Structure 1
Amino acid sequence: MMKVEVAFALPEEQRIISLQVEDGCTAYEAVINSGIVELFPQIDPENTPMGIFGKAIRDPKSTVLKEGQRVEIYRPLIADPKEARAKRAAKMKAQKEAEQAGNKD
């Protein structure tokens, strides 16, 4: 037996569940055994991305956990990071151009 954790966070709430699992337990099995899906029904363990300590894992069903590891269940991104960065850059450019236009008077 070994101790692992399963974590999920929403903007207003987060939960980290510690549990004892058998040696050879996979990330997927830990999520199922933790009962976190009952607490957060929006989690789909078949399709929701997961990671261990911030590093994404490709296949939770074949990723065997080690003592003390924490499985993190990721929420979908609300905005595409590249798109958000491009919008911020365009906004900064527009502000800079407006300031330069205002300084010419």
Structure 2
Amino acid sequence: MRVHLAFAAPTRLWRLTLDVPDGATVEQAIALGGFAQEFPEFTDRDLSTAIYGERCDPQRVLQEGDRVELCRPLVFDPLESRRRRAAHRRAKSKRPA
């Protein structure tokens, strides 16, 4: 069966289409795709996995056409970033012209 792998590295987007045996898991597809050889700097990090943007367990059995996504951890909290931008806008609007 054919599945797709995707990973957004800091410097490039890695996409791969490969054939895996029926009953293959997310983890097996990642190994078959050669992710560890392509990105050795990420093998020691805790990457989460998703299928079409929905988080999934690495032991999930794949279906024909699934797109497996490897997700890097966030480097910042999006909620905190929104708070800082809002505070900056409020401070900027209170300044005299």
Please indicate, yes or no, whether the TM-score normalized by the shorter chain is above 0.5. yes
Identity of aligned residues (%): 38
Q: Which has the larger radius of gyration?
A: 1
Q: Distance in 2 between matches of 1:9 and 1:67?
A: 22
Q: Show the 5 A alignment for 1:23-38.
A: 23-38=22-37
Does structure 2 retain, via aligned residues, the 8 Å contact 1:32–1:45? no
Q: Which amino acid aligns with 1:10?
A: A
After TM superposition, the runs of 4+ consecutive aligned structure 1 residues lying more than 3 A away are 44-47
Does structure 1 retain, via aligned residues, the 8 Å contact 2:46–2:73? no
Change (3 A) 1:20 1:11: same
Instruction: Report the counterpart of residue 77 of structure 2 in structure 1.
Output: 80
TM-score (norm 2): 0.90
How far off is 1:43 after superposition?
A: 2.7
TM-score (norm 1): 0.84
Instruction: Report the counterpart of residue 48 of structure 1 in structure 2.
Output: 47
Instruction: Report the counterpart of residue 71 of structure 1 in structure 2.
Output: 68
Tell me how large the CA RMSD over aligned residues is. 1.7
Give ranges in structure 1 of 5+ residues lacking alignment.
none
